[in-house]
């Protein structure tokens, strides 16, 4: 399938899009310690602009401060959870089909990354090992622009972080597609004029993106 692309740039979230979602690791940890499924997401969605998670993604607290704040937030829900263990869930396995799609896309359109991350682990992808960090670093090099919340002090869904990426790429939001596994992060992208794609699975995301960029990205 080859046709003219409807956009000149494609922006990607990282965790949950290029790598497996940390929610999968959260669920495994919750099952291990016997707390209800989605407890961590519930904690992180309470006071979303001022909780431990938000502060950590904006680099407003240290790792130790995050762990202390997160554990107190969990206790407010009657839960005993380790902030350190939660941080260890953040780096998922790389999705090879997404990396291959990046290789194809970068030959035809500009690609960039907007990621909410933390100064935890190794590198931008918050990897837990040096080997994994090296793999993530190679992927990051494929993007023309990478905007990290931990570096710029602004996190999704704040519209400013999307505007930062567009400004760095020198493209109008209406000329961009944006992929994220969270609907709350897709909404501001769409409001700015981007073609927003909510990622449910790699196959669905690539199929939807094919329709935007006019390239074969799945059966490759």
Q: State the number of CA atoms in the 13 A half-sphere of 195 facing the CB.
A: 16
- Whether residue 62 has pLDDT greater than 70: yes
Residue keyed to tokens 């919340």: 149
- Whether residue 79 has pLDDT greater than 60: yes
Tens digits of per-residue pLDDT, 186-209?
999 999 999 999 999 999 999 999
Q: Say which CATH topology domain 23-87 has.
A: DNA polymerase; domain 1 (1.10.150)
Mention the CATH class of domain 9-19+91-213.
Answer: alpha beta
Is residue 88 very low, low, confident or very high in pLDDT (cuts 50, 70, 90)? confident
pTM, two decimal places:
0.89
The domain locations on the chain are 9-19+91-213, 23-87
Average pLDDT for 172-191 = 97
């Amino acid at each position: 399938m080859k046709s003219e692309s409807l956009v000149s740039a494609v922006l990607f979230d990282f965790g949950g899009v290029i790598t497996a979602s940390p929610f999968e690791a959260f669920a495994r940890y919750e099952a291990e310690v016997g707390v209800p499924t989605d407890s961590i997401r519930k904690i992180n969605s309470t006071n979303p602009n001022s909780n431990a998670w938000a502060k950590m993604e904006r680099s407003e607290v240290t790792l130790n401060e995050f762990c202390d704040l997160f554990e107190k937030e969990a206790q407010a829900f009657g839960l005993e959870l380790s902030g350190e263990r939660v941080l260890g869930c953040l780096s998922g396995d790389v999705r090879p089909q997404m990396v291959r799609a990046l290789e194809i896309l970068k030959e035809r359109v500009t690609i960039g990354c907007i990621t909410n991350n933390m100064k935890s682990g190794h590198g931008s992808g918050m990897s837990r090992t040096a080997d994994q960090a090296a793999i993530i670093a190679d992927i990051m090099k494929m993007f023309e622009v990478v905007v990290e919340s931990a570096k710029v002090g602004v996190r999704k869904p704040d519209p400013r972080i999307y505007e930062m990426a567009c400004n760095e790429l020198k493209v109008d939001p209406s000329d961009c597609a944006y992929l994220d596994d969270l609907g709350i992060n897709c909404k501001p992208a769409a409001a700015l004029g981007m073609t927003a794609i909510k990622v449910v699975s790699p196959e669905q995301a690539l199929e939807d993106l094919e329709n935007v960029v006019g390239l074969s990205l799945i059966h490759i």
